[in-house]
Amino acid sequence: MIRIPTLTTDRLVLRAFRQEDLDAYAEICADAEVMRYLGDGKPLDRAGAWRQMALIVGHWQLLGYGMWAVEARDSGALLGRIGFFNPEGWPGFELGWTLGRHAWGHGYATEGARAALDYAWGELGREHVISLIQPANQPSIRVAERLGERLEGEVELFGNRALVYGIDRP
């Protein structure tokens, strides 16, 4: 079984999901505003949040990389998830972020995604990373641009148009 590494930034800990995260993660996934630009745009119930956590852990086991749970260093509160997604049939090696509404507007997505990008370049040896963002999701577009990603095109995902932002290894 692969050991999921822990990354630390000034304000965040990116770590493996644990069963104890379910209550907080289910609350995040039940929020329609948080979920509106993800997948089919519908909130998840508690069982759906658990299955998503299991998918995230399984992604690490199958591919050796994946999403981290994002925790606030000062409080230990679960803020959301940040990391990589690249299941079978996906358009590329994606860096994504999803934070609970209580964590919006504090720069956490950019801070955590920068740490993940450094991991992609340094530990995984990736040459190119993409982020798939629905056109109306302006806050995520701003995060991608702050990371240095640029618009490369678009794809269809789950019946929705998604913009492909990307960045090459520095």
- Identify the helix (H) or strand (E) that includes residue 51: helix 46-63
User: What does DSSP say about strands 160-168 and 67-72: parallel, antiparallel, or unpaired?
Assistant: unpaired
Per run of 10 residues, the mean pLDDT along the chain (length 170 residues) is: 94 98 98 94 96 97 97 98 96 98 97 98 98 97 98 92 96
43 to each of 2, 20, 127, how far by Cα in Å? 30, 20, 34
Q: Which of 167, 34, 144, 36 has its CA nearest to residue 96?
A: 144
The pLDDT of residue 131 is 98
Whole-structure pTM value: 0.96
Order of all β-strands in the sheet with 67-72: 7-8, 12-15, 67-72, 78-85, 94-99, 128-133, 160-168, 150-157
Q: Report domain extents, the chain.
A: 7-126
Tally the C-alpha atoms within 13 A of residue 23's C-alpha that lie toward its C-beta: 2
The pLDDT of residue 37 is 93
Topology of domain 7-126, per CATH?
Answer: Aminopeptidase (3.40.630)
Tally the C-alpha atoms within 13 A of residue 46's C-alpha that lie toward its C-beta: 6
Q: How many CB atoms lie within 10 A of CB 28?
A: 23
The pLDDT of residue 159 is 84
